[in-house]
Structure 1
Amino acid sequence: MPYINCNGINHYYEIQGEGEVIVFIHGMALDHRMWQEQVAYFSKNYCCLSYDMRGFGKSVPLDDQAYSLAEDLEQMLSLLGMEKVHVVGLSKGGNVATYYVVQFPERVQSLTLVDAHVNGHPIHEGYEHFKKALRKASLEGGDRAAKEVWSASEIFTPVMLHPSAGPRFRTMLEEFDPVFWRESSKEKSSGKLAYQCLQEINCPCLVIVGEKDIIHFRQVAESLAATLKNVRYEVMNGVGHMANMEDGKTFNRLFEGFLNGENFKI
Structure 2
Amino acid sequence: MDHNGGHLFFRVAGRGEALVLVHGFTLDHRLWTRQFERFRSDFRVVAYDCRGFGRSSLPTGPYSPTDDLRCVLDHLRIARAHLVGLSMGGRIAVNFALAHAERVTSLCLLGSDVGGYRFSFDWDPPGATLEAMRARWLENAVFDGVRATPALFREVAAMVADYTGFHWCADDPRESDRDAVRLLHRLTARTTVVVGENDLPDFHVVARILADRIPSAGLEVVPGAGHLLPLECVDACGELVARHVAGSVVRGRPAEPGST
Same structural fold, with TM-score higher than 0.5 when normalized by the shorter chain: yes
* Equivalent-residue separation in structure 2 for 1:66 and 1:239 (angstroms): 36
1:114 aligned residue: 110
1:85 aligns with 2:81: yes
Q: Secondary structure at the match of 2:78?
A: coil
Q: Secondary structure at the match of 2:53?
A: coil
* Equivalent-residue separation in structure 1 for 2:203 and 2:163 (angstroms): 22
Residue-by-residue CA offset, 1:58-89 (whole Å, 9 max, x unaligned): 111221x1000110111121121100101111
- Residues 108 and 244, structure 2, Cα contact 8 Å, conserved in 1: no
Q: Secondary structure at the match of 2:34?
A: helix
* Equivalent-residue separation in structure 2 for 1:188 and 1:131 (angstroms): 18
* Equivalent-residue separation in structure 1 for 2:247 and 2:52 (angstroms): 35
Aligned letter for 2:140? S
2:71 aligned residue: 75
1:248 aligns with 2:240: no
1:44 aligned residue: 41
Q: Secondary structure at the match of 1:147?
A: helix
Q: Percent identity?
A: 29
Residue-by-residue CA offset, 1:214-256 (whole Å, 9 max, x unaligned): 1111111111111111112111111111011100100111111
| Equivalence map 1:1-266=2 (5 Å) | 4-63=1-60, 65-124=61-120, 127=121, 130-131=122-123, 134=125, 136-137=126-127, 141-189=128-176, 193-264=179-250, 265-266=255-256
Q: Secondary structure at the match of 1:81?
A: coil
TM-score by length of structure 2 reads 0.93
- Residues 142 and 200, structure 2, Cα contact 8 Å, conserved in 1: yes
Pairwise CA RMSD:
1.4
Please list every run of at least 4 consecutive aligned residues from structure 1 whose deviation after the TM superposition is greater than 6 angstroms.
none
Pairwise CA distance, 1:170: 1.0
Aligned letter for 2:71? Q
Residue-by-residue CA offset, 1:86-127 (whole Å, 9 max, x unaligned): 111111111111111100111000011111111112433xx2
* Equivalent-residue separation in structure 2 for 1:82 and 1:260 (angstroms): 19
- Pairs aligned (count): 252
More helix as a share of residues: 1
Pairwise CA distance, 1:131: 3.2
* Equivalent-residue separation in structure 2 for 1:250 and 1:123 (angstroms): 27
* Equivalent-residue separation in structure 2 for 1:74 and 1:263 (angstroms): 27
* Equivalent-residue separation in structure 2 for 1:164 and 1:255 (angstroms): 24
Q: Secondary structure at the match of 2:106?
A: strand
- Residues 70 and 100, structure 1, Cα contact 8 Å, conserved in 2: yes
* Structure 1 residues 52 and 263: CA distance shift in structure 2, 3 A: closer
Pairwise CA distance, 1:263: 3.9
Q: Secondary structure at the match of 1:164?
A: helix
Pairwise CA distance, 1:172: 0.5
Q: Secondary structure at the match of 2:129?
A: helix
Unpaired stretches in structure 2, ≥5 consecutive residues: none
